[in-house]
Chains A and B, each alone.
Chain A
Amino acid sequence: MRRSTNWTLADVLDFEALVAADERADDPQAAARRDAGLWREKIAPDLTPGEDGERAVVFHRWLAARRAGEPLPGTWLTGGWRAFAAGAVFAGLVLGFAVAGGALYYAGARPVNVAVFLAMIVGVQWLFLAWTLVVTLARGLRSAAGRLLVRLGERLGQWLAGAGEHLTGEQRLRLRAETVALRQLAGRNLQLLRWPPWLALQGFGLAWNLGALAALLLRVFFTDVAFGWESTWAESPLGMHTAVRLVAMPWTWFAPDACPTLAQVGHSWFHYQSGVAALDPTATASWWRWLAGVILGYGLLPRALLWLWFWTRLRAALGRVSFDEPRHKAAWQRLMGPVIQGERAHRDNLPSSGTASFAAAPRRAEPGCVLIAAPLGGVRAEIERWVETQFGWQIACVETAEIDFPSGNEAAFARFAAALTGAPRWLIAVPAPFTAFTAFAQFVERLRALGPAVPPAGFFLVVALDADGRATAPAPGWAGYWRDFTQAEMPDCATFSLTP
């Protein structure tokens, strides 16, 4: 399995969009030519040895070459995504600041309740985290969430398609194609799209905590604010102090002042009956470090860790992107060419093997000579009989010849030429199937060159042998092939088929 290296989300989306577009191309040959050209000119020259088999590397370069100047969905989608993530961060900052600012409202009548403040700033986040954990761990809920994501992707695709109605036909088609590609990504093989929303969410959370922290620090440094706690159930500040110390454990080993003492907790216990005036200002102010620690340790830090985890998951998912899907293999083959590359066959004009209709043989009571191809020697009598019956010839001479060996028949040719002086007609019985046609053409040329006694025009009789070695009619294909061959090579001769 080929894994991706250095691929970004935009790369993967653009790559899939391009591959999908090529799959739907009207002219696959043109796509193959283009890719073969890209391979030759832009990809192969820059590859180091060993890289030419690495699909991730080769496809990455192919993508770079294809991308030039062409706006692709991955680019605009991730651009949009970045804008959304930036928006989430901005919203987190503003909301965190505003909510914390609101929670830190102090007009001198009642101190800021640290429990309420923390519940609003950190507690809500933990509630969401707990819910996310339940969704992640419960398989049914997870797959439902996955389906929801796919459905959202589909809806987004439909919305995009609908929004594009005002576009020109070509633009609309392209948009649809790209949304199909995105749907494919969201639905199968790639679960990459699940991580960016999580990342954006963590970005929002980080910014929320930063906004809250900023609001807290600004309030503490530039305004007068008193922190306190309230409880009807508590009988002494000991329980509260224990809880506060427990919460502050992660940082008290290096910042012991960032946790109120038991006395400070006791002196910041607010009772409506006593009012703010009863509280110790030093004690009410001592909480702010602890609150900052809680926001940092229980809000910002988990968010930062989660952001980092989701980012590494996205990187890991990008690293796991494989290029083994059939569509990738098709693209790979376009680039590299098939494993076995054949050149287009060149064909000379060969006789066809169309079925031939044979003219009825002329019946003439004239003398003639017959040459029989050696493989037909066993049916010599049948051939003679057929020639006598069909042609009405009086056979003056019958010779057997090696028709695939033009120069190997000197003795037979000499006897044949002598016989032709008194019987100036010749016929050659040829076998079917037969394949040494060029040798046969040379054989006939030699025959004709024997002297003026051999007339240029002659006859060919195509004979087949059955399984028992008896003469039979040739298959129509072979008869037709022989006829076309002799017409092309020896147009003044006529060809017949033996009909038993």
Chain B
Amino acid sequence: MSAADLPVIAILGDVNHGKSSVVATLAEDDSVGIGAFPTTTCCQRFRVRDLFEFVDTPGFQNAREALRELEEADTHREPLAVFRKFVERHRDDRFFVNECRLLEPVLAGSALLYVVDVSQPLEPRHEAEVKILRLTGSPRIALLNQTGEPRHRGVWEARLRQNFSTVIDFDAHRADFTNRLALLEALATVDLAGKARLRTAIAVLQRDRDEKLDTTARVMIDALADVLTLKQTEALRDPLRVATQRREIEERFREKLSGRETAAHREIVRTFAHRRVVVGDSATPDFLRDGLFVEKTWSVLGLSGWRLVAAGAGGGALVGAKIDLLFGGATWGLGALVGGTVGGGGALAGSHSPPKLTVRVPLFSRALVGAELTAGPVAHDNFPWIVLDRALGVFVSVSRRAHARQDEETLDATALAARLQATRADKDQAWEAVCKALAKTFREMRKGRFDDERRETAVRVLRDWLRVISV
């Protein structure tokens, strides 16, 4: 389909009212120039597959003066002809550069999205802008954006409702995926000509979102599978300096674990195309400030209380039950009981303290391959949940972060825990089911029984949960 046939949505408004922020959020592109000063001087086009285009236009710069010439359209038989003449007349006029550029998509028949910042007062030039857009007769929606305290909302809303068929709230700096889709839905209802394509575009964007959730789930599951089985084995260098080498191996093991975790976090951030979010780079503020083995991380993240006990007991009970089975039930379920108690007790004790890494000499290694020291894998019950929580924290932060945001975010364990708590508050039952499924997955990972089928099951469980917490 040629560019000329695509439905186009032009995003218009005064300078510094958030047009580019809206565009950045809609396009999921944090490289769109955003600033308090005029930054957009040309129309920048964004194409959603071959379905529709939206255009970031330069802000109005001389609306009141332009309106003097465009008012004629109010009584003209063909209003857009007046606009066309205006553009032809002022094509090389330095005082109407922006107006000519922003009117180009309007003349091409695009639907209009007028962005206003309700924290700024309604001034006469805004009245002129509103009137100009009304005179075009194009399908149009007004978007109430806010960059600060919405002190002027009432005035703006009253005026916009007089001139626009639809007025909706859209905080470009806080809008999540659902808000984006709601905006496109609203546009579909206004722009009847492009309705079908916009609806298809919504479906495409939803599929794209699902792909991102699937990718994230795969990244998380693979990272968990890796960190739960990660080991650091080295040949013993000097039998007289074992302690020194133990510390070195521990350090290298931690680095390896953290490196694997950071790689997963980076992958998640990249999946959601956030270039301003930095993970694990010592030169810049770290997105996740607290490390994997920091006391604070362990005190607030991971599974807490009886939930971890239940998961631990489940695993222990399972082992016990197998022992019962081995004895043909002659043990009267004692195995399951003891296994459950030991597993649960083990999980409860020290569930919120970082694991103490132990470096050991593997059995038979001396005889088979010479003396070796091995650190890992980490056997702590809460370890996979801590890793998962940190990854979920990164996911929640980036999946809900609007691309219009220009700040660099730093999360610590407490902020992460609060954010996760907020996502789970009313979803405890669903989380319960996820916990059970994942606890089984972690056991399978640790036992080396994590094959393709189990991986797909785990990915499905986690992906569904990500879908729940991403909105």
Contacts and interface: CB of A to CB of B under 8 A. Distances in A.
A492 interface: no
B125 A405 contact: yes
Residue from A143, A375, A402, A439 with most neighbouring chain B CB atoms (10 Å): A439
A454 to B, nearest CB: 19
B94 A189 contact: no
A356 B451 CA distance: 64
A325 B29 CA distance: 23
A435 B117 CA distance: 13
A350 B125 contact: no
Nearest to B99: A438
A351 B46 CA distance: 26
Interface residues of A, number: 42
Given A326-B267, A340-B28, A345-B42, A407 B65 contact: yes
A404 interface: yes
Contacts of B63: 404, 436, 439
A143 B65 contact: no
A441 B95 contact: yes
Contacts of B98: 438
A348 B33 CA distance: 13
A22 to B, nearest CB: 15
A348 B41 contact: yes
Interface in A160-208: 188-191
A251 to B, nearest CB: 40
B368 interface: no
Contacts of B47: 340-342
Given A339-B204, A405-B124, A435 B15 contact: yes
A324 B214 contact: yes
* Secondary structure dominating the interface of B: mixed
Contacts of A325: 218
Interface string A425-440: 0000000010111110
A339 B267 CA distance: 18
A219 B281 CA distance: 77
B291 interface: no
A135 B208 CA distance: 42
Contacts of B56: 345
Nearest to B26: A340
Contact of A438 (B26, B48, B62): B62
Given A326-B219, A439-B125, A442-B62, A345 B33 contact: yes
Contacts of B46: 340-343
Residue from A341, A342, A407, A408 with most neighbouring chain B CB atoms (10 Å): A342
A346 interface: yes
Given A375-B123, A435-B16, A442 B65 contact: yes
A147 interface: yes
Nearest to B65: A406
A24 interface: no
Contact of A435 (B41, B59, B449): B59
B61 A326 contact: no
A281 interface: no
Contacts of B39: 347, 350
Interface string B53-69: 00010011111110010
Q: Nearest 3 A-B pairs (CB), nearest first?
A: A435-B15, A438-B61, A439-B62
Interface of B: 14-16, 26-29, 32-33, 35-42, 44-49, 56, 59-65, 68, 94-98, 123-125, 204-205, 208, 211, 214-215, 218-219, 222, 267, 271, 447-449, 451-452, 455
25 contacts: A146-B451, A189-B452, A189-B455, A326-B218, A339-B48, A339-B49, A339-B205, A340-B29, A340-B47, A340-B48, A343-B45, A345-B32, A345-B44, A346-B41, A347-B42, A348-B41, A402-B64, A405-B64, A435-B16, A436-B61, A438-B98, A439-B62, A439-B63, A442-B62, A442-B65
